[in-house]
Amino acid sequence: MIELLPILIPALVAGLLVVLTHVPLGHQVLRRGIIFIDLAIAQVAALGIVIAHQLHLVDLFHGVEYLISVAFAMAAGLLLAALEKRIRHQLEAVIGCFYVLAATAGLLVLSHDPHGGELLKQTLSGSILWATWDVLLWHGVIVALVLALLWFKSNLLNGVWFYPIFALAITSAVDLVGVYLVFASLIMVPLATHQLANHKARLWIGYGLSVAAYAAGLLVSAWWDLPSGATLVWCLAMMALLFTWVRSRQTKKLV
């Protein structure tokens, strides 16, 4: 296990970067009632990655894949922001349509690529174990920018600016951990802690549970040679369930 530390430590840092933005954004998503927006935006970002590969744009210069992914996610975010005022009650259904259209578009684009299945798997399950320090540094800058907006311009989240900010955070996370883990990181633990009345407690408990789940998941996947993305999703789910069970027990004792 010690020999795996050079791989596991950067992977844990990647998870930490995702958690830093996803826990507060997850509570915002739950408050707005647009649960599947992360899946939709993440899938659109993944479609940008797929198209960049198919058009061989990744050969142009380092980072072009990420820029195209951001462009796709931002376009989807801005479109949803424009639609929010017009079809507020149907917005969740439209978000679902975004997801399924982006997912099937990826399948169509890769339909004649013999290596398409591997690329599709990577965008969904991620490659967190292959995170490198130079990549983490770049994503750290993105996370710092999003966190600065969350902390110092938190009122932006109450309006249409929520969507481009959300798209920026989601695109960075998809590049690091994949679509499945993006959804799990954004929803599972925040869903378990959302009913806590104290905002700071809700936030810090969410951070603690998420980081613990990432650490446990990486250790389990390394120990039993399991797919890291899928293992981490289940660890996040188990951590959220454990917290819910402990809190329900404490509530019964107080009654």
For the chain of 255 residues, list the mean pLDDT of each consecutive stretch of 10. 81 95 92 85 92 82 82 90 81 90 92 84 85 91 92 79 88 89 94 88 95 96 91 96 90 66
pTM score = 0.89
Within 8 A by CB and 6+ apart from 19, the residues are: 185, 207, 210, 211, 214
Record: fold of 2-254: ABC transporter involved in vitamin B12 uptake, BtuC (1.10.3470)
Q: What does the pLDDT read at residue 1?
A: 60
pLDDT value of residue 202? 92
Res 6: pLDDT: 83
- The confidence score (pLDDT) of residue 254 equals 62
Q: What is the pLDDT of residue 255?
A: 56
